[in-house]
Structure 1
Amino acid sequence: MPLSDDALDQLFREARTHSAWLPKPVDDALLRQLFSLAAMGPTSANSSPGRFVFVKSAEAKAQLKPALSPGNVEKTMAAPVTVIVGMDMAFYDYLPKLFPHTDARSWFVGNDDLIRATAQRNSSLQGAYLIMAARSLGLDAGPMSGFDAAKVDETFFAGTTIKSNFLINLGYGDHAKLHARNPRLSFDEAARIA
């Protein structure tokens, strides 16, 4: 059954990428709910390589700050939460649990190209699901690149098999500071039916 126009507006048509934030905190319980929704999105072979660090505390924000590109510092420091969307390069070790009906782990062991492509693609999908889950729960999002991945990995993922993919600022956006929506490509410019 299709969603209502109000729901489609909230998720897509009226939703915007935010760079300015209201000084309103985001509760930890809401972040847990957000993750639970995002985790339901599909990934190939249910691989679920996405790993998430919800950077909230002043100490964690200070650790993240030196890794940010200059244009991303102010908005990221002002955001109530910044999510580091990471990808576990050893995600396949969880496949006996996540995809138990076959030996999917064996598809990946020793195949670095497949591991890298699967981790990148599917953690990106999971980050997108996180954005849509945030919008569905009344939060705004500001996804971004523009950071030193090596610094983020050293600070937040040292000693693990996780690498950073991208960042998402979360909170309650200041709608008064939005610029006009940028154009989108039309169907005929970007798609075709074969």
Structure 2
Amino acid sequence: MSGILSEDALDTLFRHARTHNAWQDKPVSDETLYKLYDLMKWGPTSANCSAARIVFVKSKEAKEKLKPALSAGNLEKTMAAPVTAIIGYDVEFYERLPELFPHAPEAKTWFNWSKEWAEQTAFRNGSLQGGYFILAARALGLDCGPMSGFDMKKVDEAFFAGTTVKVNFLCNLGYGNPDGLFGRSPRLPFADVCQIV
């Protein structure tokens, strides 16, 4: 792989992208959600474990199901968003490793020996995939509003009961209304964050 993305592309993915709190009354098609996943799935994970699991909350009924779990500050914007993605992770992701990592038949045993280790691995890789999700959404012209500020237990009970999936974070998706943006917040400079050793 070679080449550098254009400045416009880098602006779209990073420099000009914002966390949106208000949304245009414009739907997001199922086709776009399929495309989003088809991009994000290519991001690397440990042993290709692909631990992320996603529920796209679009319908009025599903939004009402999510509503009791939301904090007051996230309620209105989430109800107004065309889609809210519940980004979760499967703590038993290793069950799929025989198909996802076939060149190492023993890969399942790298993770299934400890529930704590498996969950740490699932959370780490599911979080990585959550980052890929946001970049894929932006690449497809969507705006994002990733957030905490919800009751994890209520989300798990409402959407993942009886499964091995747990919620990580929520991400509103749609076409943002710039009127709802806050002023751009600063970022830390290289010297405060990085070392080259």
Task: Note the C-alpha offset of 1:110.
Answer: 2.8
Task: Note the C-alpha offset of 1:114.
Answer: 1.2
Partner of 1:15: 17
Pairwise mapping of residues 1-194 of structure 1 onto structure 2 (< 5 A)? 1-102=3-104, 103-194=106-197
Amino acid paired to 2:137: A
**Identical aligned residues as a percent:** 61
CA distance in 1, matches of 2:148, 2:167: 10
Q: TM-score, normalization: structure 2?
A: 0.97
Moved more, 114-123 or 56-65: 114-123
The Cα RMSD (Å) is 0.7
Moved more, 128-137 or 108-117: 108-117
CA distance in 2, matches of 1:98, 1:53: 21
Task: Note the C-alpha offset of 1:180.
Answer: 1.3
Instruction: Give 4+ residue runs of structure 1 displaced > 6 Å after superposition.
Output: none
CA distance in 2, matches of 1:151, 1:61: 13
May I ask how many residue pairs the two structures share in their alignment?
194
Amino acid paired to 1:192: Q
Task: Note the C-alpha offset of 1:35.
Answer: 0.5
**Counterpart secondary structure, 2:18:** coil
Task: Note the C-alpha offset of 1:176.
Answer: 2.4
Q: Which runs of 5+ in 1 are unaligned?
A: none
CA deviations on 1:24-64 (whole Å, 9 max, x unpaired) are 00000000000010001001110001000000000000000
Amino acid paired to 1:15: A
Q: Which runs of 5+ in 2 are unaligned?
A: none
**Counterpart secondary structure, 2:11:** helix
Q: TM-score, normalization: structure 1?
A: 0.98
CA distance in 1, matches of 2:79, 2:178: 18
CA distance in 2, matches of 1:69, 1:180: 22
Task: Note the C-alpha offset of 1:16.
Answer: 0.4
